[in-house]
Amino acid sequence: MGKGGARWGAGRPSFKVKAEQLLRIDIRQWRKSGLLWDGGSNSWRWSRGDEPAGTIKFTVSANAVYLGYSIDGNDASQSIATTTTPCGYGGSRRWFSCPVCRRRCEVLYMRSARFACRSCQRVSYTSQSEDVIGRLWRTQRKIEERLGEGWQRPKGMREHTYERLWATLMDCERRRDEEFAVVVQRFMGIR
């Protein structure tokens, strides 16, 4: 990617609020937990690490979800419309309808005491503003999570998969060293 803002190699400037920093509601998690039955009332808890970050109560109806919450003692409740789409093999899938743009979405983010989609809230992901070295570190971390202790092949992993992951890991290390050398040369004024 090209130059983004004042940081060399980044995709986009990093002045936007990051999605990972905000409270969010994800209809996929609610669906998986069985919380989306009509007429049902439930609550959802957020946490950051081991610390509780908030709780929201919600009531589900046929075509909306009513969110009951307060911020600094003031009621900030909100009603979110929902839509459904048919699934290929029968049944249907429920979606949030963004309160601002009415776009169908699965995740709504809270910013300024209201929930809306990522686009309307002007939120980006952290990975969208990483530089080349940061992206390589993230790729390496993902591969290391799949590999065993000391980068050993985990039991049950095919040899071909392990060799592919190992080659990608070595490529990340090589490319990161090359990018670091370029950054050092730029700082030292060597071209």
Inform me whether the pLDDT recorded for 177 exceeds 80: yes
Burial of 154 (0-12, 13-18, 19+ CB in 10 A): exposed
What does pTM read for this prediction?
Answer: 0.70
pLDDT of 98-154, one tens digit each? 999 999 999 999 988 899 999 999 888 887 777 888 889 989 999 999 997 888 899
Residue ranges per structural domain of the chain: 19-124, 130-188
Inform me whether the pLDDT recorded for 1 exceeds 70: no
- pLDDT band for 35, please (50, 70, 90 cuts): confident
- Mean pLDDT throughout 42-65? 84
Q: What is the pLDDT of residue 189?
A: 81
